[in-house]
Amino acid sequence: MKKEKLIKKYDRKVAMYENNRYNPTVAVWRDKLVKDAFGKVLEVGVGVGANFPFYDPEKVKEVTGVDFSYEMIESAKQLAVKYQLNANFIHQDIDTLIFESNSFDSIVSTLTLCSYPYPVETLNKYNDWCKKDGRLLFLEHGLSANSILAVTQKIVNPLYRKIAGCHCNRDISKILKESKLEVEHLEQHWNGMVSLIWAKPSK
């Protein structure tokens, strides 16, 4: 799917993402993960700001939210005001995003690795942007550990990608192993289709 078409697809989905912002099941996962962010935070694929309620104001100094969808960014800005979050936003695609090395204490990315064309390269960028004593936090969906479900995901992936704009059959554990990141803790749910990841950069 061409990038311009994909961006427009997400621009049109803002209302749907806003309605799903407080999904109770996902909220439990977000809370468990995002509360561990600290210092200067980069949130990539910030979307409509669904993680904002879960940042610990005592630990987080500021959040830089990045997204390639302008409409998503505008929605996230409103939520940042509601939660009095010290946030700034960058409307840009991750493929062209540039930061200096060791720029952030924490990097947060939730439900985004499914859509990047080169996920390992993206994770290696995070490895560079995160400080040596920093933390990387991910909530991702991907290939099930159940063989029957995994086969089904592989079969439906072309249609899923066309409808949702992302892959449903990415092997998250494999992607992490191929990256430079060091996984400290991995927690999986729903037959391995949902992964919560606590990682650190390798310097």
Helix axes 70-82, 3-12, angle to 10 degrees: 40
Q: Is the pTM of this model over 0.85?
A: yes
88 vs 27: CA distance, rounded Å: 23
The tens-digit pLDDT sequence of the chain (203 residues) is: 577 888 888 889 899 999 999 999 999 999 999 999 999 999 999 999 999 999 999 999 999 999 999 999 999 999 999 999 999 999 999 989 999 999 999 999 999 999 899 999 999 999 999 999 999 999 999 999 999 999 999 999 999 988 888 899 999 999 999 999 999 999 999 999 999 999 999 97
CA angle 181, 65, 97 (to 5 degrees): 65
> Which of 58, 29, 54 is CA-nearest to residue 43?
54
Q: How many CA atoms lie within 13 A of 42 on its CB side?
A: 25
Distance CA 168, CA 166 (A): 7
CA nearest neighbour of 92 among 45, 127, 53, 135: 45
Q: How far apart are CA 157 and CA 167, in angstroms?
A: 6
